[in-house]
């Protein structure tokens, strides 16, 4: 179990946004999760450098995955790592859609289901309000 003080630090560092899809906690009825970037089952620790804030949808889809298949090259590539990678190098937001700019970005968009219809609908509602 991750201690409350660590959870608070992770939330503050992420400014209450999912570190994968950037959904703000205030725009989501489900509480964001503090998740392990590298799952414990793969040797990941509870250190701050291995923790990220994730909305429930990104967290559910990511699970213990560390990699996936790039939809263009069909090669195995790592998923976006919020502590090592910069969001704007790997993704671009085009309205309510999030597009991958690199193999890591494309793969993460697919594995985390960032553009599934319900998520796009949610982001569209947020932009319209």
What is the residue extent of each domain of the chain?
4-128
pLDDT at 128 over 80: no
Global pTM value: 0.93
Can you tell me the mean pLDDT for 16-43?
94
DSSP 77-99: EEPP-TTTS-HHHHEEEETTEEE
Average pLDDT, the chain: 95
Query: In the chain, how long is the greatest CA-to-CA distance?
Result: 42
Closest by alpha carbon to 22, among 102, 88, 111, 107?
88
Estimate the share of the chain in helix, then strand, then coil, as percent rounded to the nearest 5: 40, 20, 40
Which residue, 37, 69, 55, 64, is CA-closest to 118?
Answer: 55
Whether residue 127 has pLDDT greater than 90: no
pLDDT band at residue 61 under the 50/70/90 scheme: very high
């Amino acid at each position: 179990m991750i201690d409350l003080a660590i959870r608070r630090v992770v939330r503050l560092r992420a400014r209450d946004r999912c570190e994968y899809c950037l959904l703000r906690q205030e725009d989501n009825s489900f509480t964001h999760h503090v998740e392990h970037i590298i799952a414990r089952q793969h040797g990941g620790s509870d250190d701050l450098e291995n923790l990220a804030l994730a909305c429930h949808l990104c967290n559910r889809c990511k699970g213990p995955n560390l990699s996936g298949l790039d939809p263009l090259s069909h090669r195995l590539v790592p998923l976006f790592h919020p502590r090592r990678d910069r969001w704007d190098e790997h993704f671009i937001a085009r309205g309510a859609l999030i597009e991958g700019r690199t193999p890591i970005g494309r793969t993460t968009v697919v594995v985390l289901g960032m553009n599934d219809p319900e998520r796009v609908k949610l982001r569209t509602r947020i932009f319209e309000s």
